Amino acid sequence: MTTRPNIFVILTDQQTQQAISAHGNPHLHTPHMDTLVRGGVSFEKSYCTFPVCSPARSSLLTSRMPHETGVEVTDPPIRPGIPTMGAHFRNAGYRPYYAGKLHLGPKFKKGIEATSEGPGFEYLGDEYPEGVPRQLGTDTDPIWTDDALAFLRAQKSSDCETDEPFLLVASLHNPHDICYWCMDRREFLEIPPGSELPPLPENFEPLPDEPEFIGLCRRRAVYAPEIAYTPGWDESEWRRYLYAYYRLAERVDHQIGRLLTALKESGLDQDTLIVLTSDHGEGVAAHKWVTKLMLWEEVVRVPFVVRLPGAVPEGRIDRKRLVSGLDLLPTLCDYAGISAPEGAQGISLRPLIEDPALPGRSCLVSELQAFRDDVTKKARMIRTARFKYIVFSHGARPELLFDLEVDPGETKNLAYQPEFKETVAAHRVLLRQEMMKSDDPFKLPVD
């Protein structure tokens, strides 16, 4: 491994961990993401910090929780004064570049781009090119990929003679287009008659004692209202939705293939650390849920794949260690030979990659604010080796506890069963301890 490798971060949007065929899903074919899985280490228990794009992305770029970055809904910029990935790497002698979706702040480059006021990324192209519909990755992803391709191809030209390694983030949009498919905008993806539709998941039915808070979210008419479109769906429509989602994952895989080809053609693939991950996952019909804004496993678990030839083992799927979106920046820093930014909440995954005997994290936390204009309706989740505990700020039955070893589909809430009283209490204590580390102001509505 080179002492200071180039770094290439590929971000997708709204990709659940199982939306990669190499992870064992027979209902889609993602050959290019499969190449990364086969060539590196893939963490199966990888979680976002928040199941919405802007908050989760703010964590990926800072290694801070969304309540720290000030981004708890879509659109706000990262709070001033928090070190970001681009600035930190530029100060360390890297050349940082960003292409594609950011969705942080009304002026999308503010807070991450290099200016006269401070260091940061150099933005490649435009986040939303003029005349191109901004909502659809079907339209934007080929353009953003072209922006990144032009950069990668330039690295082998005589015009790019430098000893400084690069950091490139290529942030793509799909399979996020499923949001619009759910809201009856389907002209960009037609399902051919006679297509073989995926089966419904085993955890398709909602919990019989579903927390009242989740019911409120099911009726949400604004701010990610996709779930409100589903009550009239029959089982066939749910299966069509799954088919559409997997085709959109294949579309972003095609763009990733173009990026990997360009990297190889540039002659830099052997000296470049690649990380593939996503901002958050997708409901994929579990508990009759679509898209985001909930703490179900399918929504909060995302791919996290690391590849660096000669330094990262090939073809290993880590099914044990817990990984948070907070860990991206410290991991990149470790491989670059620089310290993580002050205040970073994540850990480097490099020791876990190099020594499978290390235990890694004992727990991780994810956050949720379910409504844009109601800052009181929130939730927190803590995941430990065996259990997952969720607590909502409002409504009846505000707690959930799942034993994920025996119930990975989260079909049986143990929070109110007497034999799990101590387990619930222990997870409340642990959650409060984790919240204290980042001065999280969330108040548990329980003793």
Torsion angle of C-alpha atoms 414, 206, 246, 10, degrees rounded to 10: -40
Give the Å distances, CA to CA, from 237 to 186, 197, 234, 279. 13, 10, 5, 26
pLDDT of residue 114: 59
What are 194-239's pLDDT values in tens digits? 999 999 999 999 999 999 999 999 999 899 899 999 999 999 999 9
The CATH number of whichever domain residue 213 belongs to comes to 3.40.720.10
pLDDT of residue 118: 60
Task: Give mean pLDDT, residues 329-340.
Answer: 98
Cβ-based neighbour number of residue 436 at 10 Å:
9
Q: Could you give the maximum distance between any two Cα atoms of the chain, in Å?
A: 70
In a domain, 447, yes or no: no
In a domain, 1, yes or no: no
Same domain, 416 and 318: no
Please provide the average confidence, as pLDDT, over all residues in the chain.
93
The CATH number of whichever domain residue 427 belongs to comes to 3.30.1120.10
Same domain, 306 and 343: yes
In a domain, 446, yes or no: no
Domain that holds residue 334: 6-359
In a domain, 205, yes or no: yes
How far apart (Å, rounded) are the C-alpha atoms in residues 350 and 333? 10
Same domain, 315 and 345: yes
What are 33-51's pLDDT values in tens digits? 999 999 999 999 999 999 9
Model pTM? 0.96
pLDDT above 70 covers what percent of the chain? Answer: 95
Give yes or no for residue 107 having a pLDDT over 90.
no
Give yes or no for residue 116 having a pLDDT over 60.
no
Same domain, 280 and 372: no
In a domain, 101, yes or no: yes
Beta-sheet strand order (sheet of 95-100):
122-124, 95-100, 166-171, 6-12, 272-278, 304-307, 41-47, 316-324
Number of domain units in the chain? 2
**pLDDT category, 446, cuts 50, 70, 90?**
confident
Secondary structure E strands in 107-214: 122-124, 166-171
Same domain, 109 and 179: yes
What are 361-382's pLDDT values in tens digits? 999 999 999 999 999 999 999 9
Name the pairing type of β-strands 272-278 and 6-12. Answer: parallel
In a domain, 444, yes or no: no
Give yes or no for residue 159 having a pLDDT over 60.
no
Same domain, 161 and 310: yes
In a domain, 443, yes or no: no
- Give, as one character, the DSSP assignment of residue 399: E
How far apart (Å, rounded) are the C-alpha atoms in residues 8 and 20? 19
In a domain, 281, yes or no: yes
Same domain, 207 and 332: yes
Mark which of 359, 376, 411 sits at the end of a domain.
Answer: 359
